[in-house]
Amino acid sequence: MPLDSTQIKLQELERGRIFSNGSALTDALTVLYHQWAYGTRQQTPTLFDVVAVGYAIRPELCPTKPMRLRVEDDGSTVVEAGEPNVQACLKSDSDAFLEFYLERVLAFGRD
């Protein structure tokens, strides 16, 4: 999953739903968010790693395309012609991902 395919932002509306939920998980996420926002002076977090984990659980959130990639010594990737050696997710479905994410986060800890 290239960095661009994981750049899903947690916007104010979604943050509000999480912050007002009141479960142990969402309270912890609220505290972590405020620590992050204070430390970075940013308001809208990007869910890079969370998107990759979501893909591991529900691959259809990020359709893949067969490609041939080479990794350079500096860690950058280069697209090459030839037999595909990866299945790359080039664009995630941000609406479906946020629905998937919020459903789980908001339901965690409910009986």
Report the pLDDT value the prediction gives residue 2, as an integer from 0 to 100: 84
Determine if the pTM surpasses 0.85: no
Q: How many C-beta neighbours within 10 Å does residue 42 have?
A: 10
pLDDT in tens, the chain (111 residues): 888 889 999 999 999 999 999 999 999 999 999 999 999 999 999 999 999 999 999 999 999 999 999 999 998 889 999 999 999 999 999 999 999 999 999 998 775
Q: Is residue 84 part of a domain?
A: no
Q: Is residue 72 part of a domain?
A: no
Q: Is residue 82 part of a domain?
A: no
Q: Is residue 18 part of a domain?
A: yes
Report the pLDDT value the prediction gives residue 59, as an integer from 0 to 100: 92
Residues with Cβ within 8 Å of 57's Cβ and at least 6 positions away in sequence, in order, are: none
Report the pLDDT value the prediction gives residue 3, as an integer from 0 to 100: 85
Report the pLDDT value the prediction gives residue 15, as an integer from 0 to 100: 97
Q: Is residue 7 part of a domain?
A: yes
Q: Is residue 75 part of a domain?
A: no
Q: Is residue 68 part of a domain?
A: no
Q: Is residue 83 part of a domain?
A: no
Residue 56 domain boundaries: 3-63+91-107
Q: How many domains does the chain divide into? A: 1
Burial code of 68-98, b = ≥16 C-beta within 10 A, e = fewer? eeeeeeeeeeeeeeeeeeeebbeebebeebb
